[in-house]
Amino acid sequence: MNAEELQGRIGALTDNERAEFAKQFLSIFLSNGFGALTKRDTDSLIFFLLQRAIKGADVESYAWAKVLKITPTRVSSLQLESHLKFAHLLAADDPQAGVRFVLAGLMDIQIGVDGEGKQLTSGSVRIQIDNPIARMEIEQAMKELGGVVDYERNRKLLKIDFINFLRLINKLTGEDEDEVISRIARGKAKDTGKLASLLGEVKNAEYADLTEPGKLKKFVELLGDTFGEKPKKLIEHIGLIFGSQKHQKAQQSK
């Protein structure tokens, strides 16, 4: 969501959304007595509630900076501060936010095979995560999984081993298919033709025309077919989130 779209979304908040914003603001602002919050805390609270009202995981820091007339650095600071100070006071209304950030930030998927062409030996996924809260949560989730997040020249650009990436999505969605993913990692294609077919599929024009979340869903399906294991719940979940993203973008373009 760019600055113009964000400005329009703020201006188009419904009466119910505005009423909910005011209700939540007053509840927290008055909880410790009038004037107890500092100006910085009040700014953080307003920003936190504004983000909740917009419900957009794809709002760029630059867009917030331009609309609010502050620096992108200040936006990042507000995102992290407001989350740490106020998120625990309000129930999360989007438990899949972490997955949405990951799918929205997908840049590319790379895979490699062994010399015999029978086994998936390497692969990586690059994700651009602009939101510091999402980065923090993803980093922690990867540590819990025993994986490593590599940073290129930019801390907003995360590079994760492909199998660990599948485990990350599995963890964030709350599914329980880690063993299936592990079997894919250990598995071998029954014949070189199947793996060659997979590699050919991801290079064709039809695949190239898909969005990155669409490519991921298709790739995991092909991977499951090739190695005889398919994390069905994970594929379904990616599909639902991908479909929701497309629906949101269609609604925003109207």
More confident residue, 131 or 253: 131
Residue 157: which pLDDT band, with cuts at 50, 70 and 90?
Answer: confident
User: pLDDT tens, 96-133?
Assistant: 566 666 766 677 777 666 666 566 666 788 888 777 77
The model's pTM is 0.58
User: pLDDT tens, 170-229?
Assistant: 777 776 777 777 777 776 766 677 777 777 777 777 777 877 777 777 877 777 777 777
Two tokens at 193?
């033709």
User: Would the pLDDT of 158 be above 80?
Assistant: yes
103/146 Cα distance (integer angstroms): 21
Q: CA 191 → CA 116, 118, 162, 186, 196, distances in Å?
A: 10, 7, 22, 15, 9
Tell me which residue of 140, 27, 130 sits closest to 80, measured CA to CA: 130
User: pLDDT tens, 26-67?
Assistant: 988 888 888 888 999 999 999 989 888 887 555 777 888 898
